[in-house]
Amino acid sequence: MVIAMFGVSVIVFALVHMIPGDPVRNSLGTRFNQELYDRKRAEAGLDKPLLEQFVRWIGNAVRLDLGESFRSNRSVTSVVIERLPATLSLALAALVVALLIALPVGLLSAVKSGSKLDYAATAASQVGVSIPDFWSGIMYILLFALTLSWLPPSDYESPLNDPVEFLRHLVLPAVTVGLVSGSILTRFVRSAVLEALNQDYVRTAMAKGLSDRQIVFRHVVPNAAIPIVTVIGLQLGFLLGGVVVVEVIFAWPGVGRLALNAVGDRDYTVLQGAVLYLAFTFLVVNLLVDILYHVIDPRAELS
């Protein structure tokens, strides 16, 4: 994880400094004067060589000091942490929607392989993967918010202020993201369960006279769990990184939208902090998935 984070930090720092534009000049706007400009560049360390800037930045990042935003003059760490509740709530809600779709549909599709149910589930998952989430999100807003007036079209409400309004604002973005993730997971669940159904131990269990339910839930599901958990972990890492398009459509104040705004504002420090968060999230989720392998199957060695 340390090696991967260092590699990501090098790439992020290099690419961000290749973006055209001057963050200090952009942040000053109409207040620009040469003396103030030179002073702010010196305070940010932008007058130093790139290697020295990187060493200084990475040294501070290890201490969770990601610098200050050029735009708001606030700590980047506090800005990212401020966006975490919105990102976490959307990611977890979307994952719940995805699992509620993928686990039963994928399992039934595999068990009933070749049936009309299997063909319908496969076709539906293909449609779910193919439709862009920005289009489906807009359609949900038009239908459920503007036409039926059941749910608010966008924005975010803190669960501490009003839990009911928070849930109402959460439904549309969570369903938009969850349907796409659920379609992806459905295909993997079906594939993993089908592979497990074709193993010798299933035929042995059938020969011993076990019922279909016992075979599926006692033998097939536990053995199909590891590849399924792997894909769930990847999806969770992706969701925790912020679903930029959906966050923009629904005005959801997550980390993905923060990174997008930072690109437009040429706010290097915020962009670097948001990308480091994304990389760290993926690494942590993958680590937890690796540890979970041993919990699911004790035969898997942690080493």
Q: What is the mean pLDDT of residues 72-81?
A: 86
**Lookup: tokens for 13:** 């720092």
Question: 134 with 276, same domain?
Answer: yes
Among 46, 62, 78, identify where a domain stops.
62
**Residue 170, in any domain of the structure:** yes
- In which band, very low, low, confident or very high, does the pLDDT at 280 lie, cut at 50, 70 and 90? confident
Longest dimension (CA), the chain: 86
- Per-residue model confidence (pLDDT) at position 175: 92
- The mean predicted confidence, pLDDT, of the chain is 84
| Angle in degrees, CA 229, 233, 235, rounded to 5 | 115
The answer to whether residue 68 is domain-embedded is: no
236 pLDDT tier (thresholds 50, 70, 90): confident
Assigned domain for 79 exists: no
Domain-embedded: residue 69: no
pLDDT for res 241: 66
Most confident of 14-18, 62-66, 185-189: 185-189
Residue 12 belongs to domain spanning: 2-62
On the question of pLDDT at 244 being above 90, the answer is no
User: In the numeric block, which tokens belong to residue 113?
Assistant: 């392989």
pLDDT in tens, 133-150: 889 889 999 999 888 888
Q: What average pLDDT does range 104-129 have in this prediction?
A: 88
Question: Does residue 303 register a pLDDT over 60?
Answer: no
Residues 129 and 35 occupy one common structural domain: no
**Can you tell me the mean pLDDT for 214-230?**
82
Asked if residue 303 is part of any domain, the answer here is: no
**Claim to verify: residue 47 and residue 189 sit in the same structural domain:** no
Give mean pLDDT, residues 75-95.
88
Q: Provide the pLDDT confidence category of residue 300 given band limits of 50, 70 and 90.
A: low
Higher pLDDT, 130 or 205: 130
- Burial (Cβ within 10 Å: 0-12, 13-18, ≥19) of residue 33: exposed
Number of structural domains found in the chain: 2
Tokens of 43: 């305070």
Same domain for 262 and 204?
A: yes
- Please give the residue that has the higher pLDDT: either 245 or 98: 98
Percent of the chain whose predicted confidence (pLDDT) is above 70? 95
Phi, psi values for residue 245, rounded to 5°: -60, -45
Co-location of 146 and 289 in the same domain: yes
Residue 32 has pLDDT above 80, yes or no: no
pLDDT at 98: 92
b/e per residue 5-30 (b: at least 16 CB within 10 A): beebbeebbeebeeeeeebbeebeee
Q: Are residues 122 and 169 in the same domain?
A: yes
pLDDT of residue 299: 66
* pLDDT at residue 229, as a whole number: 85
| 114-128: average pLDDT | 89
Do 157 and 228 reside in the same domain of the chain?
yes
